[in-house]
Amino acid sequence: MTDAPLTPSVRDFLIELEALVDARDWPALDRDAITVTAGHAEAHVVLRHRDPASPSVEVQVGQREVVVMYPPEQIAFTRRDEALRFIEMLGDGRVELVVQRNGVWTTMLSFRDGQSIPFRRTRMPWPTIRPRTDRSRFGFGGQ
């Protein structure tokens, strides 16, 4: 298989993402470890945290959508400006993910800006024998 060159829209998004990262004061972002992998007219960007125990943010940039991954959750955006705003929120530490596991279902709730109502809820049939709730805050602000 031959890798196709990046399309202008993917390249433009990568330029806008680079400008966003350069403009933000995110001391916990390992700028030297940011990786961009391109192939098949798509790009995959990994924004790594300086602390290996803290979660990284991944961005899959395609022709028609941008998928922002903050494991184990991911959101697909069809509007690139919305994806950039969400990446900014993640980087600023304004997004919290709550993962509730029970015997049959796993529910992921994403909160932003300290609001009490989640902006995203995902339920998956991922059973566990040890029910628990985990909270993860994303960000590179050096909290």
Domains in the chain: boundaries: 8-93, 96-138
Residue 4: pLDDT band with limits 50, 70, 90: low
Residue 83: pLDDT band with limits 50, 70, 90: very high
pLDDT of residue 50: 92
Place of tokens 């991911």: 74
pLDDT of residue 6: 83
> What is the residue-averaged pLDDT of the chain?
90
Spatial distance between the Cα atoms of 7 and 28, rounded to a whole number of angstroms: 31
Cα→Cα distances 26→3, 52, 82, 94, Å: 33, 16, 20, 13
Inform me whether the pLDDT recorded for 142 exceeds 90.
no
Spatial distance between the Cα atoms of 77 and 29, rounded to a whole number of angstroms: 23
Cα→Cα distances 84→56, 105, 134, Å: 16, 31, 26
Inform me whether the pLDDT recorded for 1 exceeds 70.
no
Mean pLDDT of 68-80: 94
Q: Between 91 and 127, where is the model more confident?
A: 91
Residue 98: pLDDT band with limits 50, 70, 90: very high
Q: What percentage of the chain has pLDDT greater than the value 90?
A: 73
Residue 40: pLDDT band with limits 50, 70, 90: confident
